Amino acid sequence: MGLLEGARRHATISFDPNCRPAISPDKAAARKQAEDFVAASDIVKASDEDLLWLYPDRTLEESMNAWLALGPALVALTRGANGPVLLSRSGRVDITGETVKVADTVGAGDSFMSALISGLRQLDALGAAGRGRLQEITQDQLHVLARYANKAAGITCSRPGANPPGLADLGPLANPSFLLEG
């Protein structure tokens, strides 16, 4: 954790637990480790499967709220075809999944997180200088970010292999000048 704390002074810390029960059968230890990383992070993304495995006695909403209370500015939940949920102190955004002909789902979560970070960069909400903007992210910004990251995951699912989109596929974040005013 010391390395993360040192990096946090100048960088944005993101975390995606990618729980693998076959590799980490000690659920209590995995939960503790995940919570330590969540507390040290600015942005956290988990799949519904990750949260349900870590917290089988809580709803997804309860788990997301508990993680937000640990300190990150943004908690994202991916739910496959059901679409993502983004949660911040300004509120919650829940959108439907992209409609695509699925070729392969490998890499969709990583594409989602990459596009989320790319969108935050376009909003100048990364690094030490952007931390305040990240902490104060608006509902409108959350909604645009959710659509942008969801689009990236959809493109990845429409391609065979873990083949994520690039900026040429996604284009810029929708209307960033309007969003920067928020």
Model pLDDT for residues 135-178, shown as the tens digit of each residue: 999 999 999 999 999 999 999 999 998 889 988 999 888 765 55
Dihedral angle, C-alpha 110, 113, 119, 123, nearest 10 °: -150
- What is the distance between the alpha carbons of residues 55 and 175, in angstroms, rounded to a whole number? 37
> Does pTM top 0.85 for this prediction?
yes
Pure H helices in 55-107: 60-69
Q: Could you give the maximum distance between any two Cα atoms of the chain, in Å?
A: 47
Predicted local confidence at residue 106, as pLDDT: 87
Backbone angles phi, psi at 116, to 5 degrees: -60, -45
User: Scanning the structure block, which residue is given the tokens 């010391």?
Assistant: 2
Structure tokens, 108: 């969709």
Domains of the chain by start residue, with CATH = 2-180 (3.40.1190.20)
Query: Which has the closest alpha carbon to 40: 65, 17, 18, 15?
Result: 15
- What is the distance between the alpha carbons of residues 135 and 143, in angstroms, rounded to a whole number? 15
Q: What is the mean pLDDT of the chain?
A: 91
Model pLDDT for residues 66-75, shown as the tens digit of each residue: 999 999 999 9
Backbone angles phi, psi at 86, to 5 degrees: -115, 135
In whole angstroms, how large is the CA radius of gyration of the chain?
Answer: 16
- What is the distance between the alpha carbons of residues 149 and 118, in angstroms, rounded to a whole number? 9
